[in-house]
Amino acid sequence: MGPRVPAMVLQQVFPTNVYRMTAAQALLLDGLRQPKAAAPFARSAIAAASATESGFRYHRDLGLVDTGAESERLSRLRWLAQG
């Protein structure tokens, strides 16, 4: 079994925090030529970027990922997620 995304990362308040941490980890592992280890982090980053609500009643869009600005990085993460 490969590396797992730590629970403390997935329990962040804002989806953008989860996205930034897991995307960075995925890209670093890919840079170290460890694409299989990068895959679960890439999948977590993609899931965080897919969030459409923050969970806050009056600020539903607070802390969401700007997928338009991140489109190039998300493409790379989708490729990495395939393992």
Judge whether residue 3 has pLDDT over 80.
no
Decide if pLDDT at 6 tops 80. Answer: no
Domain boundaries, the chain: 13-81
pLDDT at 77: 97
- Residue by residue, DSSP assigns 25-50 as HHHHHHHTT-HHHHHHHHHHHHHHHT
Which tens digits make up the pLDDT trace of 9-29? 666 778 999 999 999 999 999
**What number of residues does the chain have?**
83
| Per-residue confidence band for 5, with pLDDT thresholds at 50, 70 and 90 | confident
Residue 40 has pLDDT above 70, yes or no: yes
17-36 burial, b at 16+ Cβ within 10 Å, e below that, comes to ebbbbbbebbbebbeeeebe
- Per the structure block, which two tokens stand in for 36? 């299989």
Rounded Cα–Cα distance for residues 13 and 82 (Å): 27
